[in-house]
Each structure stands twice: as structure tokens, then as C-alpha cells.
Structure 1
Amino acid sequence: MKTIKIKILLLVTCMMSACSIDLVPTDRYTEDVIWDNEKSIELYINGMYAEFRNFEFGRLSFIGNDNASDALTDLMKYTSNSAGRGTVNVLATDASRYTATSPGIAYWTSAYNRIRRINEFLYSLKTHAKISVEQQQMYEAEARFIRGYVYTWLARINGSFVIIDNIEQHASIYSERSSEDECWNFIANDFAFAAEHLPREQSVNIGKVTKGAAFAMLARTWLYAASIAEFDKKLYNSDTKTGVDAAKAKTYYENAIAAAQSVVDLADGGLYDLDSNYESIFTNSKSKESIFRIDYVGPLITHQYDFGFAPPGDAPEGLTYGMPTAELVDEFEMADGSKFSWANPVHAANPYANREPRFYATILYNGANWKGRVLDITDGGGVDGFVQAGSISEPKNTITGYYPKKMLDPKNTSFVQNRSTQSWHEIRYAEVLLILSEAQLFADRLAESKATLNKLRTKRGVPGVNANTKDQLFAALQHERIVELALEGHRYWDLRRWRLAHVKLNNVRFTGHRVSRQGSSVVYTTVSCDTKDREFIGRMYYLPIPLAETQRNEGVKQIHGW
């Protein structure tokens, strides 16, 4: 009763003296405080950058423990076949695992949660923020860059999605999917706005998006849209919303060229460059090849890449679940630019000698020097030795005869206790050149395409390609994307947009090389690292929308075929 009387007395006193009881809480930010202070706006938008971590190091965080998309392809094999550590193996070998009830690769719900936050930010930025027009445009550019990135993943996975660009739309339960063409154009508009208003460099806030990053993502967007127009031709899905008119392919390739050329112009001005030391790119956060990257600072902001991919000899407590396949290893050329072949007696006798520089930066093989030891990856070779796929239920050793080297930190010997801090490069200048070369190729600028591709190869220490026709140059470009971008998470999406996944990833088992000693000789035997055939069927080019989402939004119709 005393408490009630005191409260009433305070209220009456306040009313008589015309004081305010709208007190500003001291334990949280109110909306007025956030938008009245540029520092709090900065903190708000910085929190949005967490979205990029869902895809760091080529992984798909929402389908298992650090499951990498390259393990859905011919480039990587996970050791486990159980859900969690080995979800990618389950998805790669069983097309029936993709259903509307359980879509396999499902980002829809998470994506729209992030999109809502971004749209709320954009609304309040324009209605509440007490900052200059230039500052407002820069923050809008950042937010739209992130939104474009989120929508890009929906386009990759589902093709057609619901475009929501304001907070009023989030309340609707009758929002329909837009056409895939409209979706790609919407994404392009977000990145184009970002490119127009973001600064050339972030001199204070290092690690934030820039003009070059926006142009690079814009180039990637137009290349994807052009690829769908070029290769899909409505052969794999009759959904009225999916696909892009083939007549638009040439225009979209030209758009990709223009965006990529804007990045090249920035590079010519000294902002970016190809790194002469390929291996150091992935452990050097200051590499000029990096256009947009995620940096980490221990002990609070870290990742677990080394824990999941380093050889077990580095730390028995590690997981060691993602291995390069023999198919990837054999893609790396000889130092003189010739194709490696096991049918060549010289190559077969010493398969890891005289290979191109990127091989030694990407692959750990039997006899490689690593962290002060020589790796013994032979069958029965001890802590790092080979284990035959299927021989034990949960191997933590290689089942392909190889470990990844790329992106591991060779100086980190305490990643079990302290995790890892090397940067993740979301997009590099090398990828921009590959985008440019591919767009030039399909825009029928063959000479330019070849010159762009050879610019990259020359910097990597390999001779230019010997390709004179469109088909030959496309084959060379596919090869270059494999070796240059290996293990970075591009291969699965490349095969999908080229409509080659049902050819390359279906009714096939991928392989490794078992290394064994017979007396004084070393014998290399090709063995399967898959225990089941891979499965990729045509309808998987457009994966289903989660059933719960189509039930929640009456306007969203399921993609045809699901």
C-alpha cells in the first residue's frame, strides 16, 4: 500500500508541475535514440553484416555443421554420411531428400527475416534519421547491398521469389512470386544503387562494402541472369515464373561486361590487383585482390574452418570432414600448361611434381610439407593416413588421398582452443576477370574473352589457353573457374546456371587416389570415395519453397513440380 501511495503522489506531483513521465530507458536503445545518433545508426547497419557469415568459406550454414556447397559437386567429398557433419553427402546422393516439407537447401525463412530487418532500417532511415542526405544515401546503399546479397541466394536456390522492398508488404498474406527475370533485375537495381552511392574506399570502417564490391556483385548478378537466359530455355521446369527469356541473354551479358569493367577501371587506378602470391591471398587480409571480405578478430569474432578441414595430425580433436577429390586434383595442369594425365608415364610416376603453382597452394598430398612435417597419406600411414570410404562409419581421415590446403592458416597451431581468424574473401578480383571473360565470350567477343582469361593465367604463372573456337574457350573457362575458385563455393552454382548439374552430378561416383607402398615403390590406385551414385535431376534446378511458407502466405504458389 505504501508503494501505491508513493506512486500516486509522484504522478500527481508530476501533473501539477507539468513534468514528463516519458522517461528514456537506460538499459536499451529507443527508436528516437537510434536515429538521432549516427553512431547508433552505424551499429544498427553493422549488425546486418552477420548475414554474410551464413556463407563464409563456401559453406551453407543452414544445412549442417559447416557443410560446404562444393561437397555437392565433383570437387569435394565429406567423410561423414550422417546428418549434420555429412548432410551434403545425403543431399548429393538422394534426390528424394528434396521435398516441400523438407527442401534440403532452405534459406527462404531466414532470408525474409533479414529482409524485413533491412526494410525496417530503410523506412526509419528515411523517416527518422537526423543526418545529411549524403549520409542517408550511403547507409541506404549499404543496406541495399546486403538486401541484394540475400535476394541473390533466393534466386540461386528458388529462382522465383516474392519481391518485398518496403515494410508495408511484409504484412500481406497475398504476396505472389515475381518472375525470375524480375527478381534478377530487382537484385541488379539494389547493387547498382549501392555502386552509385558507396565510397571508393572505406578509410575508417575497414571491411565495409565499397563501390568496387557493389560493381563486382552487380557483374555476378548479370552473369547469373544471362546464364539462365542462355542455358535454361524452359527445359527443366514449366513453372510460369521461372526462367529468363533467351532473347535477353545478350543484353544481360553486356550488362555484366559493363559492371565488371567498372571494377577493372578501379583496378587500373590502383585499387585492386591480382596477387602474385596465390597462396598468400587467403591468409593475408590486406591482399589487393580482395574486393569484399569478412575479417575476424580473436577471441570474440572467429570461425572454425581449420577445425573442420585441417589434417588430423594438426589436432586429433578436429573434425576433418571435407576432402578434395581426385577429379579436382587432376584438373590442375602441369607447370608448362599441358594437361595432367595418369596415362602419361612421366606424370603417373611422380604425379605431384611440376604442377602449376595453384596446385601447391590448394592441395595437401602425400609427401607435402605441412606445419613442420612431411604428410604420410598412404594407406595405413598413421595419423594422417588414407581410409577407404565405407570401411568405417565416421572416418576423420581422408577418404580421397588428399586434404585441402587453401584457406587453412599454416601458422595456427591452436585452432581447437582459440579457433581461427583468417579472412573470408566473398569476391576477389580474379572472379571479376572470370565473370568478364565469360560475359565477353557469350557476347561474341572471343578475342577479348581470351585476352581477359590469359591475363589471369599469366599472373598465376601458367601459359595462355590454346582455344580458338567458342566451345574451346568455354571449356577453358570452365576449367579455369574450377582451379582458380576451388573450394570457395562456386562450382555447384556454376553447374546449376550452366544447366550441367544433371549431366555432371547424376549417376556417377567420384574418386580419390589411394597411395600405398609396395617395397621401394609407391603405387597410386584410383578408388571410389562415394558409396552411392550421385543424384541430380532436372527439377532440382529450382528447389521447393518450404511448405510452411506457402501455407503462411496464401499468395505464394509452390514452384511447379514440387
Structure 2
Amino acid sequence: MNKSLKYIAIALVSGGLLAGCNEDYLNTLPLDKAPGDLVWTDAALAESAVTELYNGLHDGLLNQESMDCITDNALYNFGKQDIMEANISPSNTGWVNNTYEYGEMYSRIRAANIALKKLATPQFENTNGIVERLKGETYFMRAYFYNQMLRYYGGIPIIKSPYELTSSDFTIARNTYEECVNFIVSDLDSASMLLQGKTLATGRATNGAALALKSRVLLYAASDLHDIPTASGKSTVIGGFSNKELLGYVSGDQNARWQAAKDAAKAVIDLGIYGYNLNLSAPVTPEEGRANYVNLYLSRNGGEKDAIFLRQFINAKDEWGAWYPRNNGPNGYHGWTSSEPTQNLVDDYEMMDGTKFDWNNAEHKAAPYDNRDPRFYASILYDGAPWKPRTADAAGTDPFNQIQMGTYQVGSASSPTTYFGLDTRNSSIENWNGTRTGYAIRKFIDPNPAIEDQVTRQEVASPQIKFTEVVFNYIEACLELGQEAEAITWLNKIRFRSGMPPVSESGQALVERYRNERNIEMLFEEQRFYDARRWMIAKETLGEKVRIMKVTATLKPGKTVPVYKYSKDDYNYTYTVQEIDPGVENRKWDDKLYFMPINRDEMNRNNKLVQNPGYQ
């Protein structure tokens, strides 16, 4: 047969077959997706759609690059932070976690708006009140996403319903800060009402989560940064801005806002369902205090009672947050030491007797890691700290399982050899990812020896809202309202749990003690960046130059050590604090950083937006 006729015949037969098939063949639905309209006619699919909102949490706090790296608490190992050098602008917004990024948050808000619209007239059976529960979760998540942006940018556009393709105008102005607070609180009140009495799986929004987030929102709203008369007096950048209502309250009673914050925190406390070892009348032992703190951040052995809302990880899923030990553990364990605690932070840990650590104190200087707050040992890996067994390739070099972040002598004192610790940038294990500050993170890392940093994931949850935070919110509101006795009572509850003695200061000294306690207790929980800004102490904290630790150890006369081990009997240790090389990071503060810039692309897309002060 002629080739052309052959192809025509095939085409005719194929066409006839298609014509003879049922039209449903062309309307086959994909097997891996459900059409939007179908989703909201089935309870299970609707629940899946609402569950997808939780993916907006991404890796929660357990990122490779902790948000504390844009504070005085930590340094990012793999590149300087533009935000910490005040180099950010609308065209270079610097480090923005996905859970704060403008476009990402609005995509999640749109999904929440669609869900609320569809759930207003559900097309499936309301079995066991599933409609109310899904609506409650959606209100909570919408409020959560809006608050993420609010505490980053100030007032943002409030969009209450999804845009349609038929919409003629997609531009919208920013709402005032006060309007945003009221809207978020309203969503949280709705969530609380709808979720009250509902039993939900761990990790989902609850009545308690809604009330706790409300506590956070109102605490921030009451703070000096958002009381514009106060803020303007402390910052010429804010004082010179012509749209101050976008940044905070231009009028009203700040004390009334503090009272609202106190009441919101007390509402969570009065639920009586949260709290871990907070009914102590005296400090526990240092060993118990350390164990209590580890249980809290691992959400285990009773510590899970502190977690109100968290992001979970399971070993079956290859999620970035589950790789936290590899991303942040020491390089001598094949970790990357990505987010590193600074000496600035370490110096903020008190001595066991509650006094401040002081480099001018000869005893402190000679042994800076002795007799410190138990939370220090539970949070920071430092030179000489005991840790997990080394992997096979390092076990012979360090059979004692101790963190090595210094430079030491080995051999004999008469003819010593220089040995670089396994967890330094000169390590014989890996030398490209060692600590720059002399420290590594221990907090949130499962100490189970079976978890090898390089090859094993962990199942430690990322806490988004904790009862401890709510207690701190209550304490702060009491302090601002002049109720010092109540504030001290609750502050000491937290200190007793960690094994620390009570505080008894008053006035500004008590405020400073509270602020330090809040930072130490909630280290690496995305609090410091917001706290330092809302207290308007960022110049002295976030703008502080990074200090690092250098440890050297020389053998004492007559000593011989074939394999290094931390030992005061064998070595004389020297601890030298210095500022980090400015080529790594050269921090400075600019008051424009009290509010972040809206990305230039967003400004170009929406001509009704007003840029934050200092970025024009």
C-alpha cells in the first residue's frame, strides 16, 4: 500500500474509534487530583484541603538557618546576612523565611478564604460537627498567616474573600495596624468558639491554640514599637513617617492594651490543661532542671503538655526539618553547624546562684562553662561538652565523645604537637563547615545515639506556640501594669523548673531580668527578633557585633596525652573572646529595620501600597 494511503487509513480508523467511544472518555478525571468543585462536596476531601493550610508552616522553627541568626543569639555559617548589616531594601529584602514572605502568606490566605467561602454552605453531611471544626481551623490558620506578616511589616492589606477571575481591580491599600489587630483577633475569637470542646489530632489548631495566639497578638500590639507616640520619640525614622497608622496606634490608652494582653494570657492559663512542672515552690536540682528543659523542647516525658501548637515531623517523610541534627550539628559528627550560638548569647546565661557571668571575674574567666544555668548545658554545645558517640571514622580520635572546638597540645609537654579539635574548621573529619563562633546548637537535637547526623532523620516537633510563651506574656503584661508581685511569682515558676533561684528585683532591673529570662528560655524559637524590635532595644542587641570564642589548651609540665581528652588535670586552658572577622559579618543597626521592606515587585503590582519608612 502507498505510504500516504496507509496513514490516511489509520487516521480514518482512529477517528472512527474515537467517534464511537463514549464521550466520558474525554472527561476522565485525573487519578491524583480532585477538581475544586468536587473537593467541597465530600467531607474527607474538604478536610484534606484544610489540612493543606498547615503546610504553610514549612519546617517551623527547625530550619537550617534559624531566625535567631538575624539576632545577637546566633550567626549563620554560610554567608553574611544583609539584614544584620542594614543592607536590605525593597529590591533586596534579605533573609525572609517562607513563613513570613509576603507572596507565600497571601497564597495561603487565599486558600483559607476559599475554604471559608465553601464551608459557609457545605455540600456534605455535618457529621460530628466537622463543618464547625474545619471552619475553626481555617479561621485560626488565616489569623496565623496574617500575624506572621503583621509582626514583620506592620499593617498589611486585609483580604477577606478570594478574588475571582471576573474581578476588575486587584489592587488594595494597606489596612492600619489597629485594623489588622482587630481582624486577626476576630478570626481567633471565631476559631476559639468553633473549636471549643473539639478533640483534634496533635498538630492541629485547637481552642487553646486560638487563645494563645490571641495572647501573642495583643502582647505585640501593646508594646512600645506599636505605641506610635512612644515609638516616634525613640526613632526618627518612625517619627518622620507620614503614615504612622500603618505601624501602630496613633492614639488610645497603652495601659488598656496591656490589660487586654494580660487578660488574653490569663484566659489560656485558666484553661488548666497546659503546663509542665510549673507548680514548684523551690528550685529543682541542676540535673532535674536540665532534664526538664530537654523534655520541654523534645515534647517528651511530660514536656508535651507545654506544646499548644506545633509542627510535627515523621521519619517516613524526607522533610527538611527532620534533618535538623545534620543541618545544625557539629562538623565532627558530619553536621553542618549552620546556625551557631554566639558568645553574646553564652554570656547572657547566669551563674547557678543567679548572678551575672562576668569576664572581669577571675574565677569565671578561668572556667566559663562551670556552674552555669542548667539550660545552658541543655541548649549549647561548647568545648568539652559531653555528647553522643562519634561515628566510626572519628571514634578512634575521640573515644571520649566530647565536643572539641579548640586547639590543643597532644604528645608530651616537652615536645608537644598541635592538634585541632574535631569540631573546628581545621577538623580532620570535615573542614569546610566547622563552627565560626566556637559553639553549636544542642537544643532541639535528639540525643539518641542511634541518630547519626549525616544519615538519620529525627522526629522532634517544631513548637509554634508554647504555654511557656503565654506565661511570659502574662508576666510582661503584669510588669507593664505595675503588678510586680504577680509577675515575680510566675517568673520564679519558670526559673524553679529549670533549677534557678528566685528573683527579687523591682523596677527596670526586674524588667531586664524578665527580658533575659524570656530569651534564654525560648532560645531558637523565633522570639528574639520580634522581642528586641517591639521593646525598641534593637540597637543594643540586634546591632551588637558578634563575639566568638577561641579555646587553646597547653599541656601542663610533665604531662603526656596521646589522645586528646578535656582535662583540667592535664591542661591549662585559655579562653579568648574576640569579635568575628568583619569579612564574615559586620553587624550594624538602622532604625528602618524596625519594619521590613515590602518587596519591589509587590509595590509594582499594587500601586495602592505604601512602602515602610526608610526604604523609599
1:404-553 pair list within 5 angstroms: 404-411=441-448, 412-469=450-507, 471-506=508-543, 508-520=544-556, 521-531=572-582, 532-553=585-606
- Matching residue of 2:285: none
Which residue identity lines up with residue 514 of structure 1 in the other structure? Answer: K
How far off its partner does 1:54 sit?
5.0
How far off its partner does 1:457 sit?
1.1
1:130-279 pair list within 5 angstroms: 130-132=124-126, 134-168=129-163, 171=167, 172-199=169-196, 202-203=199-200, 205-227=201-223, 228-230=225-227, 231-233=230-232, 235=235, 236-237=237-238, 238-240=241-243, 241-245=246-250, 247-266=252-271, 268=272, 270-274=273-277, 277-279=292-294
Identity over the aligned pairs, expressed in percent?
Answer: 28
Q: Distance in 2 between matches of 1:413 and 1:3?
A: 58
Which residue identity lines up with residue 306 of structure 1 in the other structure? Answer: P
Segments of 5+ residues of structure 1 without an aligned counterpart are 60-65, 81-85, 389-393
Higher deviation after alignment, 67-76 or 295-304 = 295-304
Residues 159 and 105 of structure 1: CA distance in aligned 2, closer, same or farther (over 3 Å): farther
- Matching residue of 1:103: 93
Residues 200 and 408 of structure 1: CA distance in aligned 2, closer, same or farther (over 3 Å): farther
Which residue identity lines up with residue 78 of structure 1 in the other structure? Answer: Y
Question: Does the 8 Å contact 1:200/1:210 carry over to 2?
Answer: no
- Matching residue of 2:560: none
Question: Does the 8 Å contact 2:472/2:518 carry over to 1?
Answer: yes
Which residue identity lines up with residue 539 of structure 1 in the other structure? Answer: K
Residues 313 and 169 of structure 1: CA distance in aligned 2, closer, same or farther (over 3 Å): same
- Matching residue of 1:77: 75
- Confirm whether residue 280 of structure 1 aligns to residue 295 of structure 2: yes
How far off its partner does 1:90 sit?
2.7
Residues 198 and 449 of structure 1: CA distance in aligned 2, closer, same or farther (over 3 Å): same
- Matching residue of 1:559: 612
How far off its partner does 1:452 sit?
1.7
In structure 2, the residue corresponding to 1:331 is in which secondary structure?
coil
Which residue identity lines up with residue 371 of structure 1 in the other structure? Answer: K
How far off its partner does 1:255 sit?
1.7
Q: Distance in 1 between matches of 2:532 and 2:164?
A: 34
- Matching residue of 1:62: none
Question: Does the 8 Å contact 2:331/2:423 carry over to 1?
Answer: no
Superposed CA offset, 1:15-70 (max 9, x none): xxxx999776655313343222211111111111111125433x4xxxxxx32221
Superposed CA offset, 1:327-370 (max 9, x none): 11111112121222222222222222221211111111111110
The two structures have a TM-score, normalised by structure 2, of 0.80
In structure 2, the residue corresponding to 1:99 is in which secondary structure?
coil
Question: Does the 8 Å contact 1:545/1:558 carry over to 2?
Answer: yes
In structure 1, the residue corresponding to 2:120 is in which secondary structure?
helix
Which residue identity lines up with residue 232 of structure 1 in the other structure? Answer: A
Residues 274 and 144 of structure 1: CA distance in aligned 2, closer, same or farther (over 3 Å): farther
In structure 2, the residue corresponding to 1:449 is in which secondary structure?
helix
Aligned partner of 1:94 among 51, 73, 85: 85
In structure 1, the residue corresponding to 2:607 is in which secondary structure?
coil
Higher deviation after alignment, 168-177 or 408-417 = 168-177
Question: Does the 8 Å contact 1:32/1:128 carry over to 2?
Answer: no
- Confirm whether residue 323 of structure 1 aligns to residue 340 of structure 2: yes
In structure 2, the residue corresponding to 1:366 is in which secondary structure?
coil
Number of aligned positions between the proteins: 529
Higher deviation after alignment, 229-238 or 136-145 = 229-238
In structure 2, the residue corresponding to 1:247 is in which secondary structure?
coil
Segments of 5+ residues of structure 2 without an aligned counterpart are 1-11, 279-288, 390-400, 409-418, 557-571
The structure with the largest alpha-carbon Rg is 2
Q: Distance in 2 between matches of 1:398 and 1:3?
A: 67
Question: Does the 8 Å contact 2:70/2:81 carry over to 1?
Answer: no
Q: Distance in 2 between matches of 1:367 and 1:383?
A: 10
Which residue identity lines up with residue 379 of structure 1 in the other structure? Answer: T
Aligned partner of 2:106 among 103, 112, 116: 112
Q: Distance in 1 between matches of 2:38 and 2:134?
A: 17
- Confirm whether residue 362 of structure 1 aligns to residue 379 of structure 2: yes
Superposed CA offset, 1:236-272 (max 9, x none): 3214122223534222222221221121112x3x443
- Matching residue of 2:563: none
Superposed CA offset, 1:381-400 (max 9, x none): 54534459xxxxx9411222
How far off its partner does 1:208 sit?
0.9
Residues 93 and 214 of structure 1: CA distance in aligned 2, closer, same or farther (over 3 Å): closer
Q: CA RMSD in A?
A: 2.6
Question: Does the 8 Å contact 1:400/1:511 carry over to 2?
Answer: yes
Residues 200 and 481 of structure 1: CA distance in aligned 2, closer, same or farther (over 3 Å): farther
- Matching residue of 2:306: 289
Structure ranking higher in helix proportion: 1
Which residue identity lines up with residue 462 of structure 1 in the other structure? Answer: M
- Confirm whether residue 339 of structure 1 aligns to residue 342 of structure 2: no
How far off its partner does 1:219 sit?
0.3
Q: Distance in 2 between matches of 1:110 and 1:43?
A: 19
Which residue identity lines up with residue 40 of structure 2 in the other structure? Answer: W
Question: Does the 8 Å contact 1:454/1:464 carry over to 2?
Answer: yes
- Confirm whether residue 399 of structure 1 aligns to residue 468 of structure 2: no
How far off its partner does 1:541 sit?
1.3
The two structures have a TM-score, normalised by structure 1, of 0.87
Question: Does the 8 Å contact 2:157/2:174 carry over to 1?
Answer: yes
Residues 9 and 403 of structure 1: CA distance in aligned 2, closer, same or farther (over 3 Å): closer
